[in-house]
Amino acid sequence: MKKLIALIAFALVPVVGMAAGGGGVHLDPANIDVGDEAAIQDGAKTFVNYCMGCHSAQYVRYKQLTKVGMSEDQIKENLMFAGGKIGDHMTIAMSPADAGKWFGAPPPDLTLVARIRGADWIYTYLRSFYVDPSRPMGVNNTVFPNVGMPHVLTDLQGVQKPIYKEVEHGGKTTKVIEGLELVEAGSMTPAEYNNTVRNLTTFMAYVSEPVKQERQRLGIWVMLFLVVLFVLAYMMKKEWWKDVH
């Protein structure tokens, strides 16, 4: 028993470490619905127009979007600006070697980022950029401090500046960011921008696990089958053992 408890504790160490490593950053709930086809379609357009300049989604094909209500002609017209075949993967022209020279490191592929980071993280991250002249790109992020990428959605959201508060700790007073203030409006209202980011997050959650909805539907039928099988097995057991005293 002691060995079993020790083994379980050892297995939980990475999980505890990940939870402790979250830095206590507050994440706003994304409240996405991966069954919302309109949201996925809108998010796909935002992803292609604003994210695919640097980031790919190389483990998913454009054709996958036919399963969320888009026709092949709509995909080619709205998402495939460089041509290609509907069965192509969502890759980018920039090579990792060139990206490494220009940015210091190749921008990561985003196919699985929703499974790694979570929808709430993506939703909060894309709304948490602020002006920081000390950074190479002129911006920073409260969710991802010292972020290396620019705020590609600035035209939509606008420009935010940090609001600081003083905190005393160990006899020292330091400034921490209490919130963000919009100082220059973008082309969207805050509500419209939040909705655009939510749809983008929905798309990224969908491509990270496109069979999730089907798996959940199948899981319900599997559970019902197991319930029926249990009842039949129990009745059979009673019939076989009824004469045993």
168: confidence class by pLDDT, cuts 50, 70, 90: confident
H or E element in which residue 61 lies: strand 57-61
pLDDT tens per residue across span 174-224? 888 889 999 999 999 999 999 999 999 999 999 999 877 677 777 788 888
Q: What is the pLDDT of residue 131?
A: 96
Q: What is the pLDDT of residue 221?
A: 80
Find the angle CA(30)-CA(33)-CA(36) to the nearest 5 degrees. Answer: 135
The yes-or-no verdict on residue 20 having pLDDT over 50 is: no
The verdict on pTM exceeding 0.95 is no
Strand partners for 165: 176
Q: Pick from 120, 134, 129, 180: which is nearest to 152 by CA?
A: 129
Q: What is the pLDDT of residue 94?
A: 82
Find the angle CA(126)-CA(47)-CA(104) to the nearest 5 degrees. Answer: 70
**Full DSSP string of 19-49:** HHTTTT---------TT-HHHHHHHHHHIII
